[in-house]
Amino acid sequence: MMKTILVTGGAGFIGSEVVRKLVSKYPNYKIVNLDALTYAGNLENLKPIEGATNYFFEKADITDASAINHVFEKHQISDVIHLAAESHVDRSISNPLDFVYTNVIGTVILLEAAKKYWKGNYQNHLFYHVSTDEVYGSLGTEGFFTETTNYDPHSPYSASKASSDHFVRSYHDTYGLQVVISNCSNNYGPYHFPEKLIPLMIHNIINNKALPVYGNGKYTRDWLYVIDHARAIDLIFHTGKIGDTYNIGGFNEWQNIDLVHLLCKLMDEKLGRETGTSQQLITYVKDRPGHDLRYAIDATKLNKELGWSPSVTFEEGLSATIDWFLSNQTWLNNVTSGAYATYYDKQYSH
């Protein structure tokens, strides 16, 4: 069946993986990538598919209602996969309002545009909202987040994502809009912006810069290769139950400090450095305020109901990620020039 899918945030890390995948896999779909091209959006990420005849790009901000309405009409949008967001926890601590505008208000503006354009005939239309496991708050040393775990966000980022999830559900319950939500754990992979732990460490190891580990380094995250997140989004988009939520995770928990040690070891090997060289760069720095101790997803529902499981092991994914960054240092240098340096100095100067 022909579809015209509006993918928001398609110039970012995960969104560009989704766009590259959908454009190549579904030549009969039109994929409209809408992105404001903030510091995190980069059209270089779309190079592999930018010439495809079923790919379209619209530079627009999801907080601009008239621009969004125009895009729905111009392209006759049949479905939405919504990824556009301010996505970095540390930036949400410095600038919470940016997160309210884009993640909360921008999401409601998109919901309104979809409701208006589809005019109550919702049967053949889906609004898919891509969210995060951070809405569930923090785990102790045991247990997992399931789809029924209560929301308990702690950072302005997770509070804004939780709020957007509630708005999406409210449009289903109140207006009958067909929605689906997924909440995923930490992603890693090619094109990951180097403000986040893994690409930041890779970038700093390459450049022999200090490796800033927050607090005692014992915080735990559940890592998933971005390709497996995009596979899950594709599957949920096509076969997920309307109104449902699906948790997506890697079954792959790492304490930050162990992960940084592993990155140092792998990169010493790949860079031909003596073992132990990079780990000397590890520096414990001031902790993140409100730092969540542990995230871990129980993805049993997605596995049992839709048959999804990760296809890439952490060893394979991490090795491929490091290789990608080593082979794409121009990309890395481009995104770390200019405003990145100002951000970095401000974030890591104390």
- Active-site residues: which are they? 133-134, 157
Contact predicate 220/254, CB 8 Å:
yes
Nearest approach in angstroms of CB 228 to ligand DAU is 14
Nearest approach in angstroms of CB 83 to ligand NAD is 4
Question: Where does the chain show beta strands of DSSP type E?
Answer: 4-8, 30-35, 55-59, 79-82, 126-132, 179-184, 186-188, 211-214, 220-225, 245-248, 253-255, 282-285
Nearer Cβ to ligand NAD, position 36 or 113? 36
> Does residue 186 touch ligand DAU according to CB under 6 A?
yes
* Distance spanning both ends of the chain, measured CA to CA: 55
Binding to ligand DAU in span 213-272, by CB under 6 A = 213-214, 219, 221, 256
Q: Using CB under 6 A, which of 22, 40, 84, 89 touches ligand DAU?
A: 89
> Does residue 161 touch ligand NAD according to CB under 6 A?
yes
Nearer Cβ to ligand NAD, position 10 or 212? 10
Count of H-run helices and E-run strands, the chain: 13, 12
Which of ligand DAU, ligand NAD, none has residue 221 at its interface (CB below 5 to 8 Å by kind)? ligand DAU
> Does residue 15 touch ligand NAD according to CB under 6 A?
yes
45, 51, 55, 59 alpha-carbon torsion, rounded to 10°: 60
Residues 50-69: x/- map of binding to ligand NAD (CB under 6 A)? -----------xxx------
Q: Using CB under 6 A, which of 29, 246, 254, 295 touches ligand DAU?
A: 295
Binding to ligand NAD in span 162-191, by CB under 6 A = 184, 186-187
Q: Which of 233, 109, 102, 196 is nearest to 156 (CA)?
A: 102
| b/e map 50-73, b = 16+ CB within 10 Å | eeeebbbbbebbbbebebbeebbe
> Does residue 212 touch ligand DAU according to CB under 6 A?
yes
CB neighbour class for 5 (10 Å; exposed up to 12, middle 13-18, buried from 19): buried
Q: Using CB under 6 A, which of 7, 83, 213, 266 touches ligand NAD?
A: 83
Work out the number of other CB atoms within 10 angstroms of the CB of residue 94: 12
Tell me which residues touch ligand NAD (CB under 6 A): 8-9, 11-15, 35-38, 40-41, 61-63, 83-87, 102, 106, 130, 132, 161, 184, 186-187, 193
